[in-house]
Chain A
């Protein structure tokens, strides 16, 4: 079938690309919900993009001991208050303190722990 009316070409392109404009998470956003929701809090959304602007990968993944696997770290608010995991920075000095609950616990209820925005690879988010 030949598309004779050239006026339709841009329209066709736009229609084909509409799905690309649908809502999606930012590449490498991590949902942390192993315990949050079962303990009455919304899931945590961790944006890699925001943090990597400020810190190299190894600061968290070597120095702070975050395993490179969504769901692979047993993070609790107790540990955070003691300066472990997120609490190494989220202490009111380098970044906001843990009292600002809904800045981190900002996800929609029902989300499962994992890493978002990936392409074909199952990646480390699958466990």
Chain B
């Protein structure tokens, strides 16, 4: 009996370690990130990612922060302009992109994007504001065009298939994500 409990605890600790490593709490300190020069005496004046990011809405990918949720939950209030005076646009339409072969269709939410940027960020230089007006495909996105200009570089990465491909057709299986890998552990 005691051995069973001990085994259970050991396995739990392994799974716990795995989950925390993948999910959260694994931000590197600046002196240990292979970018900053550890001998720079001013490094101690800069904030470490863990201090700022560990208190925000968690996420399995990217900065390990769900940035949209962090704004919606009022954890952060990023300014709309340098002095914060710009009135943000309200445009909450959703666009469903159905030409996705075997993957679930894509739901694009203007609302989530308006939390972070003005219309000019995308329109008209990156996306023509008309339905079927943009010839988007994953190969271009992976090359850093269209959605890939931000997703995969700053916004959540392109490993998170199911966050965009989230409109399930009949009998269709969900697309994958790093969150699904953690869930499987």
Contacts and interface: CB of A to CB of B under 8 A. Distances in A.
Interface of A: 6-7, 9-14, 17, 20-21, 23-29, 31, 42, 45, 47-50, 52-59, 61-63, 68, 88-89, 94, 100, 102-103, 106-109, 111, 115-126
B40 to A, nearest CB: 5
Interface of B: 7, 10-11, 13-15, 17-18, 21-22, 26-28, 30, 32-37, 40-43, 45-47, 49, 52-53, 61-63, 65, 67, 76, 78-82, 115-118, 120-121, 141-144, 148-154, 157-159
Contact of A107 (B37, B80, B154): B37
Given A58-B118, A102-B41, A108-B35, 13 more contacts: A20-B21, A28-B62, A42-B40, A45-B36, A47-B49, A49-B65, A53-B76, A56-B78, A106-B42, A109-B37, A111-B35, A120-B152, A125-B153
Contacts of A47: 49
A109 B62 CA distance: 26
Given A13-B15, A17-B17, A31 B121 contact: no
Which residue among B17, B117, B152 has the maximum number of chain A CB atoms within 10 Å of its CB? B152
Contact of B148 (A17, A50, A54, A123): A123
26 contacts: A6-B7, A20-B22, A23-B34, A26-B28, A26-B33, A29-B33, A49-B53, A52-B78, A52-B116, A53-B78, A54-B76, A55-B78, A57-B154, A58-B121, A61-B121, A62-B120, A68-B150, A103-B42, A103-B45, A107-B35, A109-B37, A118-B157, A120-B142, A120-B152, A121-B143, A122-B144
B14 A11 contact: yes
Contacts of A21: 21, 26
Given A103-B42, A118-B152, A122-B143, A56 B80 contact: yes
Contact of B37 (A14, A57, A58, A106): A106
Q: Which 4 pairs of residues, A with B, have the shortest CB-CB distance?
A: A10-B14, A121-B152, A123-B153, A119-B157
A13 B14 contact: yes
Given A26-B33, A111-B35, A57 B116 contact: yes
Contact of A28 (B21, B63, B158): B63
Contacts of A26: 27-28, 33, 49, 63
Given A26-B49, A121-B153, A61 B117 contact: yes
A109 B38 CA distance: 11
A63 B78 CA distance: 15
